[in-house]
Amino acid sequence: MFVLGLTGSIGMGKSTTAKLFMEVGVPVYDADATVHAIYESEAGPAVEAAFPGSTVDGRVDRQKLSGHVVGNAAAMTRLESIVHPMLRAHEQAFLREVEESGAPVAVLDIPLLYETGADSRVDAVAVVTTTPQIQRERILARQTMTPDKLEAILARQLPDAEKRRRADFVVDTGDGLEPVRQQIADILGKVATMPTRRR
């Protein structure tokens, strides 16, 4: 089974691209959705112990938690040391299940793929991109986004140009859905003949 990593900076259209992979039958592991799920369940007690007052009824309150970690590199590292092992366990379970199903390709949708070294766990990487203008318009249209929050998020992400330089494939989302569908078809055609390289 070929494992394709999917990543891209905030506002680039990664989530939409992941849905389009699913539209053509490719199983997709969504790291963000998995974080939400573990915040609602297994991560609660450990996060509360590390950051008192960050949970409500045993579930992580993301707004309260962000007050502890945004702009605090040491706190973010501590949080990641709690959450990342749980995410890896879910990711490995997903890959086992997909491989057993006989699927030829699986996608790991991981926002901080390069930043966390997850590129070593995939066979190729597709980076989703668009113009800086479109990116900023998309981000600032989100009701929960503030300039401070945006700067904190961007500070944790590799620059788009560096991601594109390191990628095996680049998906440009600036011209609508149909060109993205075609790019996905092209990628799937190419990975069908590529060797696996996971470590």
pLDDT 10s digit of each residue in the chain, 199 long?
999 999 999 999 999 999 999 999 999 999 999 999 999 999 999 999 999 999 999 999 999 999 999 889 899 999 999 999 999 999 999 999 999 999 999 999 999 999 889 999 999 999 999 998 999 889 888 877 887 877 878 887 899 999 999 999 999 999 999 999 999 999 999 999 999 887 5
Give the CATH number for residue 45.
3.40.50.300
**pTM score, two decimals?**
0.89
Q: Quote the CA–CA distance of 169 and 172 in Å, as a whole number.
A: 10
Q: Are residues 11 and 87 in the same domain?
A: no
Q: What is the DSSP letter of 157?
A: S
How would you class 61 by CB atoms within 10 Å of its CB: exposed for 0-12, middle for 13-18, buried for 19 or more? middle
CB 143 within 8 A of CB 184: no
Domain count, the chain: 2
Could you tell me if 159 and 184 lie in one domain?
yes
SS3 128: strand
Do residues 12 and 98 share a domain? no
Q: Which of 171, 165, 167, 173 is nearest to 134 (CA)?
A: 173
What residue numbers bound the domain in which 10 lies?
1-27+104-199
Instruction: Clarify whether residues 125 and 139 are in a common domain.
Output: yes
Closest listed residue to residue 152, CA positions, set 83, 96, 69: 69
